[in-house]
């Protein structure tokens, strides 16, 4: 692993002009024959989104906002990888590795990075804080693409473990969404002595050979996509079991800590309330601001 190099996002202007040119030359299909989304994205909605992207979306403003976070690049296992690393001012903060999925990027976690590291700065009540690490998967965002095959989920998990070790953290919590759940699961399987806990959204059916556990409330878990699978650790850091949190009907804030049977700890993240709306239909019941979708 090479040294950590500070990184600034500076997309060449030509890379911004080209998609606008292609959007302006789009050949639109005929309109759908229904008045709902059953045949896919309605033509008018698609045209509105493309018009916004072509004439209103301000990448430079997004770039400036993202650059307020501390970005780095480093070479691990022969590939130069991008990541965000924000240390918490709290002495007892817990290292947290957040892994995105496909198709996605570190952008998914932008709104929670600073809140996780310093909840008091956002007016949050006392709660656990985290040293936040958000890597970009190989070939995604500002990480280089591998030039040889073999970068499966176990290899990526090993790279994450090396990264966290280089940052000075012996143990950590892993969080993942979509493909990030598989990579985070590999961290639990292959580096379980270093893992404090695991949060996966959506939940997985099996982790480390264990069937899905009962919910913290004691009822049988349902099958909704809003469920969260949590792996539990004892005070010595050993993985001792798992549980499924029921579907969330509200958007609560950030991270909470709960005691389970007075001995085990579980960390999980609730979805943040969103700001603004989009012509796109809500995914999972939560509207996505259009600029966030385009980002």
Please, what are the averages of pLDDT over each run of 10 residues along the chain (295 residues)?
89 94 94 92 91 92 96 96 97 95 90 94 90 97 95 96 96 93 93 90 44 32 38 45 38 32 34 38 50 64
pLDDT, residue 288, reads 58
- What are the distances in angstroms from CA 17 to CA 13, 14, 22, 58, 59? 6, 5, 9, 12, 11
> Do residues 214 and 225 touch, judged by C-beta distance below 8 A?
no
- Residues 6 or more apart from 156 whose CB is under 8 A from it? 137, 138, 183, 186
Count of alpha carbons within 13 angstroms of residue 74, beta-carbon side: 19
| Range list of β-strands (E), the chain | 5-7, 71-76, 79-86, 94-99, 130-135, 172-177, 195-201, 206-207, 210-211, 228-233, 239-245, 255-260, 264-269
Task: Quote the longest CA-to-CA distance of the chain.
Answer: 62
The pTM of this model reads 0.72
Whole-angstrom distance, CA of residue 48 vs CA of residue 144: 33
pLDDT, residue 178, reads 87
pLDDT, residue 266, reads 36
Number of Cβ within 10 Å of residue 60's Cβ equals 10
Hey, what are 203's tokens? Answer: 């939940």
Nearest to residue 192, comparing CAs of 173, 177, 176, 206?
173
The 3-class SS string of 23-66 reads HHCCCCCCCCCCCCCCCCCCHHHHHHHHHHHHHCCCHHHHHHHH
Return the domain boundaries, the chain.
Answer: 60-269
CATH number of 60-269: 3.40.50.1820
- Residues 6 or more apart from 246 whose CB is under 8 A from it? 215, 217, 219, 221, 222, 224, 227
pLDDT, residue 157, reads 97
Dihedral of alpha carbons 87, 90, 96, 100, sign: negative
């Amino acid at each position: 692993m090479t040294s950590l190099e500070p990184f600034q996002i500076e997309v060449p202007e030509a890379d911004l002009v080209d998609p606008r040119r292609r959007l302006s030359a789009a050949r639109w299909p005929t309109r759908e024959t229904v008045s709902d989304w059953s045949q896919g994205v309605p033509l008018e909605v698609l045209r509105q989104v493309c018009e916004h992207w072509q004439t209103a979306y301000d990448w430079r403003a997004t770039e400036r906002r993202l650059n307020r976070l501390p970005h780095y690049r480093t070479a691990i296992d022969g590939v130069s990888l991008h990541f965000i690393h924000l240390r918490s001012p709290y002495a007892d903060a817990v290292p947290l590795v957040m892994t995105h999925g496909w198709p996605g990027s570190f952008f998914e976690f932008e709104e929670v990075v600073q809140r996780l590291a310093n909840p008091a700065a956002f007016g949050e009540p006392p709660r656990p804080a985290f040293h936040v690490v958000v890597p970009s998967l190989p070939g995604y965002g500002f990480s280089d693409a591998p030039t040889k095959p073999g970068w499966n989920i176990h290899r990526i998990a090993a790279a994450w473990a090396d990264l966290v070790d280089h940052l000075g953290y012996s143990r950590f919590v892993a969080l993942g969404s979509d493909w990030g759940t598989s990579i985070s699961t590999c961290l639990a399987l292959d580096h379980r002595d270093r893992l404090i806990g695991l949060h996966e959204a959506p939940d997985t059916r099996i982790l480390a050979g264990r069937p899905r556990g009962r919910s913290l409330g004691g009822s049988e878990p349902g099958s909704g996509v809003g469920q969260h699978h949590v792996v539990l650790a004892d005070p010595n850091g050993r993985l001792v079991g798992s549980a499924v949190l029921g579907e969330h009907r509200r958007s609560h804030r950030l991270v909470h800590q709960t005691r389970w049977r007075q001995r085990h700890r579980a960390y999980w993240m609730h979805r943040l309330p969103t700001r603004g709306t989009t012509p796109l239909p809500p995914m999972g019941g939560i509207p996505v601001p259009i600029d966030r979708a385009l980002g």
